[in-house]
Amino acid sequence: MGYAIIAWDGPDPARRMAVRDRHLAVITRWAQDGRLALGVPLFTPDWQPAGSLMVLEVPDKAGLDAYLAEEPFAAEGVWAKWEVHPFRIAPLPYHRLPQPGDAISATRTHTVTIALDGTDAEAPARRAAARPAHIARVAPMATDGTLALGGAILNEAGAMRGSIVVSRHATDAAARAWIAEDPYTTGAVWKDIAMHGTRFAPLPYRALPGSA
């Protein structure tokens, strides 16, 4: 298990640019150590930086606190607010994430989808019923690179209550069409869905769980 940090920038974009190099130094080290599974920016529809998604592979809250203490975006006010969710990456046959030396796209290549389950009493049962079909659908999409990373948002007791999906869709419309066919959508598991454009920075990531 680890943590997903969903962070939102304040109104001054100059803050991000002022500490960006130090931010990259921190996340490069954390990726090299295997403690950062993925870190990507979140963009507005008009391709302005809006925030970040950081997926940490750390065993406990001490690891989370250590990251936030080192992260310049958190310590120096780039992120005006953030939320932290216990998170477990689904072990699937993912493609290799971009590594140092790989090209950086100038435009959006992927979509981050944050989908929260319903909060009614039947929500856990709906997820459990739809989960086998959901996994059967996304496993080959990890193999072909459509799904770059996916996993479950957990509550403090470790029960699944939502999902984060990073998929190879360059528009919200394409991502929504893909999500609309997922068993978690057709089975009324996901009730609150938000999408954000992103691209990858090449970092020395280790293989994701389930990768060959």
- For residue range 169-190, list pLDDT tens digits in order: 999 999 999 999 999 999 999 9
The mean predicted confidence, pLDDT, of the chain is 96
Q: What is the C-alpha separation between 183 and 197, in angstroms, rounded?
A: 23
Residue 204 pLDDT > 80: yes
What burial class does residue 194 get, using C-beta atoms within 10 Å of its C-beta: 0-12 exposed, 13-18 middle, 19+ buried?
exposed
**Mean pLDDT value across residues 120-149:** 97
Fold of 2-198: Alpha-Beta Plaits (3.30.70)
Tokens of 45: 């529809």
Share of the chain above pLDDT 70, in %: 100
115 to 83, 123, 179, 194, 210: CA distances (angstroms): 14, 13, 10, 6, 22
For residue range 61-115, list pLDDT tens digits in order. Answer: 999 999 999 999 999 999 999 999 999 999 999 999 999 999 999 999 999 999 9
Confidence of residue 1 (pLDDT cuts 50, 70, 90): confident
